[in-house]
Amino acid sequence: MSEKVLYALTGLFETPDQIIDAAEKTSDGGYKKYDVNTPYPLHGMNQAMKLPPSKLGYAALVFGLSGTVSALALMYWMAVIDYAHVIGGKPYFPLPAFVPVMFEVTVLSAAIATVFTMLFVVFKFPNNSHPLHDTEYMKSVSRDKYGICILAEDEKFDENGTLKFLEELGATNITHQYFTEDSYATWWSVLDKKFAGILAVTAIATSLVVYIGLNKVLYMQPFSWMMEQEKLNPQKGSVLFADGFSMRNPVQGTIARGDLPYEYAVDPEGASKLVNPLPITEANLQLGKVKYDIYCSPCHGFMGEGDSRLRGQFPNPPSLHSEKVRDWTDGRIYHVIAMGQNVMPSYSSQLSRNEKWATILYVRALQRSLNAKESDLQ
C-alpha cells in the first residue's frame, strides 16, 4: 500500500452536548456512514444518530428458541425412547418437569449466541486491525475528547465540502485519516506474540494447578481428612466391636420409639387376624388413593387389574380383583404390603402403618368398583 487512500475525516469536540449536537446535525445533513467515538457511552446518542434498533436480538431469539427445542428433543429422546422408566408413577413424558431445563437452556444459548455474534460477527474478532487504530484521534477520544468520524465511502462525502461541514459544526483537530498497511493486516500479523505467549502459558499453568489441586492435592493429608473420617459406615467392618460388625442390632428386649415391630413377619395366617383400625372416611380413602397411585399402581395398574406400566421390566402381578384377594382379610393384604410376596418387595419403608391401612381401604374400594355386591348398592 504505497498509495495513500483517504479513509475518513475526523474532528474532535470538548463536551458531550457538543458531540450529540454534531451527531444530530450530521445525520440531518444526510450522512449515513459516519460514527462517533466517545470515552464512555452517551445517553441520547442513538436517537441523535438515528440508529435503527440493534439486530443482535434476532440472533438471541433464533439461538434461544433452538436451545428450547433441542432441550425438549433431548429430554424426549431420553425419557421416551432411550431410557423409558416409570418414576414415581409419572408418565414417561412429564412436560412440566422439563420446563425448568428448557428455560435454562434457552437462556444459556441466547446468552452465548449474543456474546459470540457480537465478538465474531459484529467485531470480526480476532481481526483487530482498523484504520483509526493508534491515531492521535483514537487516543484523544479514549481519554477526554468526543470525536466524530465521517467515512470517505459515504455518498455525500466530498473532501472539501465535508471539511467545511465539520468546521461549521465547531470541530477542532480536523484530520484526514488514511488507510495504512496495518489497516489491511491479517489478525495473525498484528497479533502481539509476546502477549499471546503469556496468555498461553497462563492458561496451561492454571489448568495444571486446577488439575493437580483437584485430583492429587485433595487426596493428601490433611485435605483428605474430610473424606477419611473415623466413623462407622453401614456394611463396613469395624475393629471397635468384638464381632467385627459396625452395624448393631437393637438391644435385646427394647423397642425404638414409634417403631412397633411387626409380629407376623413369618406368619401370614396370623396376620389375617389383624383388623383395619381406620374408619372408611373420605380423608382415609383419599390418602389411600394417593399412596396406591404412587407405590402400587406402577405394577398393579391404576385399577388394580395387573396392567403394569413397567413394560416388561418387572413380572406382571396378578389382578387384585381375584376371588382370592377379595376373600382375604385386610390383615392378610397388610401382610403382603409389610413383608412383600415372592418377587413383590416389602413396602414397609415407604408406607407408615396408617398409610398401609389407608391403601388397603382404597384397594377394597377398587375391588367393589368391579365386583359390587347387592348390599354395596344400599
According to CB under 6 A, which one of 34, 157, 295, 357 is a site residue for ligand HEC? 295
Can you give the C-alpha Rg of the chain in angstroms? 39
According to CB under 6 A, which one of 117, 140, 284, 359 is a site residue for ligand HEC? 359
Asked whether the beta carbons of 64 and 106 are under 8 A apart, the reply is yes
334 Cβ partners below 8 Å, 6+ apart? 271, 274, 276, 356, 357, 360
Q: Based on the shown chain and the rule CB under 6 A, indicate whether residue 299 belongs to the binding site for ligand HEC.
A: yes
Q: How far is the CB of 89 from ligand HEC (least distance, A)?
A: 9
Return the number of other C-beta atoms located less than 10 Å from residue 272's C-beta. Answer: 16
Q: Based on the shown chain and the rule CB under 6 A, indicate whether residue 269 belongs to the binding site for ligand HEC.
A: no
- If the CB atoms of residues 15 and 341 are measured against ligand HEC, the closer one turns out to be 341
Q: Based on the shown chain and the rule CB under 6 A, indicate whether residue 264 belongs to the binding site for ligand HEC.
A: no
According to CB under 6 A, which one of 50, 324, 371, 372 is a site residue for ligand HEC? 324
227 Cβ partners below 8 Å, 6+ apart? 219
Residue 124's region, left for phi above 0, alpha for psi from -120 to 50, else beta, is: left
- Through-space distance between the first and last CA atoms of the chain, rounded to whole angstroms: 105
Q: How far is the CB of 81 from ligand HEC (least distance, A)?
A: 23
Q: Based on the shown chain and the rule CB under 6 A, indicate whether residue 317 belongs to the binding site for ligand HEC.
A: yes
Q: Based on the shown chain and the rule CB under 6 A, indicate whether residue 337 belongs to the binding site for ligand HEC.
A: yes
Q: How far is the CB of 300 from ligand HEC (least distance, A)?
A: 5
CA torsion sign for 160, 165, 169, 175 is: negative
Q: How far is the CB of 337 from ligand HEC (least distance, A)?
A: 5
**What's the rounded Cα separation, in Å, for the pair 159 and 9?**
8
Q: Based on the shown chain and the rule CB under 6 A, indicate whether residue 185 belongs to the binding site for ligand HEC.
A: no
- If the CB atoms of residues 177 and 359 are measured against ligand HEC, the closer one turns out to be 359
Q: How far is the CB of 91 from ligand HEC (least distance, A)?
A: 17
347 Cβ partners below 8 Å, 6+ apart? 295, 296, 337, 338, 340, 356
Q: Based on the shown chain and the rule CB under 6 A, indicate whether residue 333 belongs to the binding site for ligand HEC.
A: yes
Return the number of other C-beta atoms located less than 10 Å from residue 202's C-beta. Answer: 10
- If the CB atoms of residues 102 and 333 are measured against ligand HEC, the closer one turns out to be 333
* AA identity, residue 251: V
Say which residue the cell 382379610 belongs to: 329
According to CB under 6 A, which one of 49, 303, 314, 329 is a site residue for ligand HEC? 314
- If the CB atoms of residues 57 and 315 are measured against ligand HEC, the closer one turns out to be 315
C-alpha cell at 200: 498461553
Q: How far is CA 346 from CA 278, 298, 302, in A?
A: 21, 15, 19
Q: Based on the shown chain and the rule CB under 6 A, indicate whether residue 150 belongs to the binding site for ligand HEC.
A: no
* AA identity, residue 282: E
- If the CB atoms of residues 166 and 339 are measured against ligand HEC, the closer one turns out to be 339
- If the CB atoms of residues 142 and 322 are measured against ligand HEC, the closer one turns out to be 322
C-alpha cell at 68: 428450547
C-alpha cell at 203: 492458561
Q: How far is the CB of 374 from ligand HEC (least distance, A)?
A: 25
Q: Based on the shown chain and the rule CB under 6 A, indicate whether residue 271 belongs to the binding site for ligand HEC.
A: no
Among 33-41, 191-199, 223-231, 314-322, which window interacts with ligand HEC (CB under 6 A)? 314-322
**What's the rounded Cα separation, in Å, for the pair 62 and 116?**
13
Q: Based on the shown chain and the rule CB under 6 A, indicate whether residue 296 belongs to the binding site for ligand HEC.
A: yes
| Nearest partner of 150 among 4, 10, 5, 24, judged by Cα | 10
- The CA-based angle 38-41-47, given to 5 degrees, is 100
Q: Based on the shown chain and the rule CB under 6 A, indicate whether residue 318 belongs to the binding site for ligand HEC.
A: yes
According to CB under 6 A, which one of 336, 338, 361, 366 is a site residue for ligand HEC? 336
- If the CB atoms of residues 230 and 323 are measured against ligand HEC, the closer one turns out to be 323
- If the CB atoms of residues 74 and 325 are measured against ligand HEC, the closer one turns out to be 325
Binding site for ligand HEC (CB under 6 A): 295-296, 298-300, 314-315, 317-318, 320, 322, 324-325, 333, 336-337, 341-344, 347, 359, 363
